[in-house]
Copies of this chain bind each other. A is one copy, B any other.
Amino acid sequence: MIQEASQSDQFKEQMQGSLFNETKNSSPIKIGKHDHVYTPGDERETVYFIEKGQIKLVMASSEGKECMLAIHGPGDVFGELCLSGLGGRLETATAMEDSFLKEIPCTKFLDRLAQDSLLEGFIKYLAVRVADQQAVIANLVTVDSEQRLGTTLLQIARKFGKKDPRSIRIEVKISHEELGTMVGTTRPRVSVFMQRFRNLDLIEYNTEHHLIIKEKKLTAYLTSIL
């Protein structure tokens, strides 16, 4: 697990360097809080690189319901799915706070990766993505909502957590509503479980709205309620 993280981090750094070169002449785009980077159907085939901010990817079903697929932070790349060549975005990308992005046309993106011999690295990166998504799917299918919420929290913590001294980890701001759309349950339900986790001292709300997740305790609890 650890060496894997460092490996993929390594590629991420290389890719960041590569993209930095590619975009150093263009100026970043500012996206205000709650504004969209793109919406379903948009044909613009570009990849985005986050310099600063938070971007969430949400997919809407034919009725009104939504599903939050991911949250991306500084240094992340998103919108790479236009590489699939099937044209037209499937999800909505929205800024969760004022953000600054660099935009790279999808063909340029590939060319640059090729030039810098990063194609294989990118394949590895995509393979990790596929594996992660498989885990999400298996989770949605096999376990109940409390468990799903727990594992989702752990995933987010691992992605965004600054390693706090006491083996605890800190967070970004995500509403219960949003958690609901990741986990596949309703907001009240999320509230109840979050409360339960809090009472059991598996998570905490920091003085200022930051979620603290006690990775070990939470993991232990989740396996205990199988």
Binding site for B on A (CB under 8 A): 1, 4, 7, 59, 61-63, 65-67, 69, 80-81, 83-87, 90-91, 110, 114, 119-120, 122-124, 126-131, 133-143, 181-184, 223, 226
Which residue of chain B has its CB nearest to the CB of A126?
A: B126
What's the nearest-Cβ distance from chain B to residue A183, in Å? 8
Structural contact, A123 and B122, CB atoms closer than 8 A: yes
A62–chain B nearest beta-carbon distance, Å: 6
| B143 adjacent to A140 (CB under 8 Å) | no
Whether the Cβ atoms of B80 and A140 lie closer than 8 Å is no
Contact across chains for B114 and A120 when beta carbons are under 8 A apart: yes
| The residue from B137, B142, B184 contacting A65, defined by CB atoms under 8 A apart | B142
A88 to chain B: closest CB distance in Å?
10
Q: Which 10 residue pairs across A and B have the least CB separation, nearest first?
A: A84-B127, A61-B142, A141-B184, A65-B142, A126-B126, A67-B141, A4-B86, A59-B138, A67-B138, A133-B133
